[in-house]
Amino acid sequence: MCGIVGQLNLKNAIERSAFIAMRDTLTHRGPDDAGANFFENDSIALGHRRLSFLDLSEAGRQPISNEDETIWITFNGEIYNYIELRNELLKLNYRFKTETDTEVIIHGYEEWGTEIISRLKGMFAFGLLDLKKNQLLLARDTFGIKPLYYYQHNEQFIFASELKAILKCSDVKREIDFTSFADYFIYRYVPSPKSIWKNISKLPPAHFLIFDYKTNTTQLTEYRQLKFGSEKINEQDLISEVGKMLEQSVSIHARSDVPIGSFLSGGYDSSAIVYYLTKLGYKPETFSIGFKDWQNSEHQFAQLVADHLNVPHNVTLATDETLELLDIMPDVYDEPIADISILPTWLVSRSAVQKVKAVMSGEGADELFGGYTWHKEFYKKNAELPFWKKWSNKLSGEKGFDTVAFYSNAMAMGKFDGNELKQMLHPDFHSSIPEDSNWFYRKNFNSNLSPVKSLQKLDIKCFMGELVLTKIDRATMANSLEARVPFLDYKLFEKILEVNEDVYFKPDTTKFVLYENISEHLPTAILERKKQGFVGPDKFYMNIERYKNILGNADLVRDGIVRAEYYERLLNNKDHWRLWKLAVMEKWYKRWAT
C-alpha cells in the first residue's frame, strides 16, 4: 500500500522541493521507498511513497512508465488478478520489466484504454499520465477501499491519497465548506464527492476522472454499478459457490512477498477469514483489541477462535485513558469522522504493525450478507405490513413507510436534522444547512429494490463506502500497515445481489450463507454469540468530564460558529453521542482550521 500525489500547474513551473514536501506528508503510507518525476518543463509532477509487498527490488519503484515513457503511473493498492491480466498481456506481446501489479495497469491501459479499470479486481487509487493525449486519468476502486482527493482551482490541479498532501501546497487556501460541516453532523462523515474544504473533492468509489490539461477540462465517469436481481436458486448451491469464492478471494488476497496477518474480533467475519487462511495452509499472526473490566470485550472471543484454529494471537487492552488519543485523530483522518471505533482501530493497527506489514480484515461481510441489526428490523417491519398496503405502495413507488427516514435513524448515533443544526449553529451559517438533511441517503436509495436489498445498497454506498472503509484505511495506513478486505470482491457481491433475498437472508440466522460455510469449523460459543460492532463499553464514550475539558474553551464557540448555549445544553443533558461528534469536530478544527 502506498501514498500517491500529483500536481499540474498550467501557468507556472512547479517548485520541486515544495512538491517533494507534499509527497512526504504521506511517508506513513509508504515508508519503504519514494519517487518523483517531473514533466513538461516542470509543469507536471507525479510522486509516490512506497510500502513494498511485490517485487521488493528497486525495479518496483514508482512512478513507473511504459517503454517509450509516454505513459506514467503512480499507484496505491493491490490488484489481485494481476497475474491473470499479465498473462493475457504477455500473449499480446507486451513486455514487463517488473514483477509488480502496477505495470499491468500501464500495459492494460495501452491495450484497452479506460476499460482496464473495470477489469481490475482489487483495491486501488491511481493517477495515470498520458503525455500523448495530454490527459491525466484518476481512478478509484469499486467500493472506495482506497482514498483519492483532488483539488481543482483556476489553473492548478492536484491529487493525493490524503488531504494533508494537498493542503501542504501553499497555493491551496483552507476555506471550510460549511455545507460539508453540516453534513458531517448528519452523517458522521463528509459524503463524496464533497470534502470538508472548498475546491477539494473526493473521487467517488467506482469512478474515474479524466483531466485534459490542455483544455483545463474534466470528465467524471462511473465505470461500474452493482447489479441487483431476484433470481431463485437452490440454497445449497449458493452456499457451496459462495464458500468456494470466499476461499479463492482469501487465497489471492494472501499473495505477497511478505507475511500477512489478520485482525480477529471473534465475530463471524474475521473468524471466517482466519479459518480460510488456515485451510489454505497459512498460520497467520492475529490481533484483537480489548477493554479492561468489560464482560463483552471482544478479545476473549478472539482468543477462543485463535486457540481453536491454533494460530498465534496478540491482544491490546484499551483503558479509559485511550480517549486521550482523540488528540491525534485529526492527523490520522484529515477531515472529521465520528465513527466510534476510530480509536480502537488505530490501537489494534499499531499493535499489528509490530509483527506484520499487512493484515486481512472483515469489512464488507455485513453489507454482503445483510448482517446488520437494522436489516432484520427493517425486514420485520415490511413483513408486518398488510398485503393491500404493500401492493398499493408498490404501485406508487414507495415501500410502505419512509425507508430513508428509517435508515437515517439507524445511522445517526446522536441525531442531527435541520432543526438541531439551527440550534447548534450561529445564524450566519444557517444557509449552509441542507433543505433535505437526508439528501445523500436519498441519492443512493432505490425504491424498486426489495426491502433488504434497498438497505444493502445504502450500506454499500453510504455507511461502508464513506465511513467504514475510511476508518480502516486511515487507521492502518497511519501505522504503515496495509489492510486487505477479501469480502470486498465485486464478483462475490454480484453473485449475492443477483439472487432473491429470501435465498440468502434469513431473519433468524445471522449472515445465513456465511454461517453455513463456517458452522462446522468454529467454536459453538462463537457461532451463538450475539452480534456486536467494533466498539468499547458505553462508559468509554460517556465520560462527560472529558467532554467538558475538550469543549470548555471551544474554538468553534470562540469563532462564532457553534453557540455556547448549545454546548452547555448537551453537557447538562449528558447527551454523549452528540457531544462525541462535537468533540471530534473541535479537535479537527483546532488542528486544521485555526
> Considering only CA atoms, which of 302, 319, 304, 256 is closest in space to residue 282?
256
Q: Which three cell numbers stand for residue 83?
A: 497475474
Q: Which three cell numbers stand for residue 464?
A: 461502508
Handedness of CA 391, 397, 401, 407 (dihedral sign): positive
Active-site residue (options: 2, 26, 51, 136): 2
Q: Is 573 exposed, middle or buried (0-12, 13-18, 19+ CB in 10 A)?
A: exposed
> Considering only CA atoms, which of 260, 259, 257, 292 is closest in space to residue 273?
260
Residue 177 φ/ψ, nearest 5 degrees: -90, 105
Q: Is 474 exposed, middle or buried (0-12, 13-18, 19+ CB in 10 A)?
A: buried
Using CA atoms, how far apart are residues 93 and 95, in angstroms rounded to an integer? 6
Beta bridge partners of 44: 8, 39
Q: What distance lies between CA 356 and its chain's CA centroid?
A: 21
The answer to whether the beta carbons of residues 358 and 256 sit under 8 Å apart is yes
Order the strands of the 156-160 sheet from edge to edge: 33-39, 44-50, 2-9, 156-160, 149-153, 200-202
- Count of residues in the chain: 594
Give the pairing type, strands 482-484 and 358-360: parallel
What contacts 474, CB < 8 A, 6 or more positions away?
A: 147, 162, 332, 333, 334, 337
> Known catalytic residue: 2?
yes
What contacts 33, CB < 8 A, 6 or more positions away?
A: 49, 50, 52, 58, 61
Measured from the Cβ of residue 443, the count of other Cβ atoms closer than 10 Å reads 13
> Considering only CA atoms, which of 124, 378, 368 is closest in space to residue 228?
368
Q: Which three cell numbers stand for residue 211?
A: 483531466
Note the maximum CA span of the chain.
Answer: 71
| Position 449, amino acid | L
> Considering only CA atoms, which of 409, 5, 443 is closest in space to residue 194?
443
The answer to whether the beta carbons of residues 451 and 375 sit under 8 Å apart is no
Beta bridge partners of 156: 9, 153
The answer to whether the beta carbons of residues 418 and 437 sit under 8 Å apart is yes
Beta bridge partners of 316: 289
Report the catalytic residues. Answer: 2
